[in-house]
Amino acid sequence: MKYSHANPKAKSMMGRRFWDNQEGAFIVWFALMLTMLMGFVGLALDYGNMTVVRTRMQNAVDAAVCGGGLKLPDQSQATIQANYFITKNGFTAVDGQPTFDPSNANIINYTMSQNVSTYFMGLLGHPTVPITVTATAKMQPGGGAGTLGPAFNYTLFSNLQMGLNGSQTITGSVHGNHEVDFNGKSTINGNVEGAAPGTNTKVYFNGKSHVTGTASADVAANVVTNGHPTIDGGIQGGSTDISMPDFSKTIIDATNPSNKFDTTQNFTPAQIEALTGSIYVKGDVNINGSLDWSGSILATGNINIDGSTRLSGSNQIFIYSSAGNIYLNGSSFCGNSSANLWIYAPKGQVCLNGSSTFYGHVIANQVFINGSGDFNGSDSSMTSLPPGVLGKNHVKLIK
């Protein structure tokens, strides 16, 4: 019997030919995959660039309708103002123009279009891609303090603790999101609210106070009557948290530029009284002596007034600190029956130390009143924030 044996040399040659053929296929496959990968990278670059441009365009038209809307119903002035904001955002008015709703004079629209250059897509016959963005805003008439949120409806409002030590008469309601302490003989012609849910705090009456309305906390048991107060409307639960509003930018933008100071200021009353309008200080304000003033004092830091104070104005934010505390040390007479004032410290505390007659509202992160006082917040018709701002119009994006 004969056996045949394969030639080992032939086998080796066949293996090399096989792998040579496979190597050629791999090169083709790798070239295809590399081309596809480069295509994906190119598309990603184009998409990223278009996203960035679209975002810039949208921000521009949003600013245009908000700025232009403040000039409504004067469409000519609204157009000028809207195009100004388009230019400030790096585009030109030829990219778009505002339009107005014939059925509502308080609505402004802005549509802007641009052809955005591409990278990879240009190789496929698409050198540019059109992008169009739109925005719509509505001018809303300004109003009283209630339009700023419920916090401004209270005679005294604190986001955290509130403490009243002495004898006070308060016309209007009182609200504290955390603990509220009445230590003395107070008459509150309104409601007392405090100890919002989740704060684990209470409302304390440590004296013979009289409340003509109700006294409430998150639950009725958190109203503690250590001093036998009289509460005409009864004690109840259901007190809720009310957010602290912060209108810092609006207030600062409204200040007369000629009265802006970049550092802490130590004023004499005469220096303050020689100024016209509001003052704005980047830092603290310190005033020593008796002050008679009808402008607004605005600061980023603490405001300290040491001495008797007589403040007047026209239903306005009067003393304001964006991040500091406000201290009035001495007898104070603020506002009058026809013109209320607001003391406002959204991130700090307000401390009134001494005898006070106050027509207006105190809105702060914390409120402490030490001494006898008459606080009348029955009028909430704020007309300026500060003078000439709040009572005017504001704009809301609706699309």
H, E, C per residue of 140-158 = ECCCCHHHHCHHHHCCEEE
Provide the pLDDT for residue 244: 83
* Mean pLDDT calculated for residue range 36-41: 62
Going by pLDDT thresholds of 50, 70 and 90, the confidence category of residue 88 is confident
The mean predicted confidence, pLDDT, of the chain is 80
246 vs 124 pLDDT, higher one: 246
399 vs 92 pLDDT, higher one: 92
pLDDT digits (tens, 9 = 90+) for 238-274: 888 888 877 776 666 665 556 889 999 999 988 988 8
Provide the pLDDT for residue 44: 72
pLDDT digits (tens, 9 = 90+) for 214-227: 899 989 999 999 98
Cβ 290 vs Cβ 273: under 8 Å = no
Does 195 have pLDDT greater than 60?
A: yes
Determine how many CB atoms are found less than 10 A away from the CB of residue 363: 29
* Mean pLDDT calculated for residue range 20-44: 61
How many Å apart are CA 259 and CA 276, to the nearest integer? 8
Does 29 have pLDDT greater than 80?
A: no
Does 177 have pLDDT greater than 90?
A: yes
Provide the pLDDT for residue 391: 46
Provide the pLDDT for residue 151: 83
Q: How many residues does the chain have?
A: 399
Indicate whether this model's pTM tops 0.75: no
Going by pLDDT thresholds of 50, 70 and 90, the confidence category of residue 318 is confident
* Mean pLDDT calculated for residue range 73-85: 86
For the ranges 118-122, 223-227, 230-234, 362-366, which has the lowest average pLDDT? 118-122
Which of 243, 241, 248 minimizes the C-alpha distance to 344?
248
Provide the pLDDT for residue 30: 57
**How many angstroms from the chain centroid is the CA of residue 12?**
81
The H-assigned helical ranges of the chain are 8-69, 75-88, 120-123, 248-253, 269-273
pLDDT digits (tens, 9 = 90+) for 127-172: 788 889 999 988 765 544 445 667 888 899 999 999 999 899 999 8
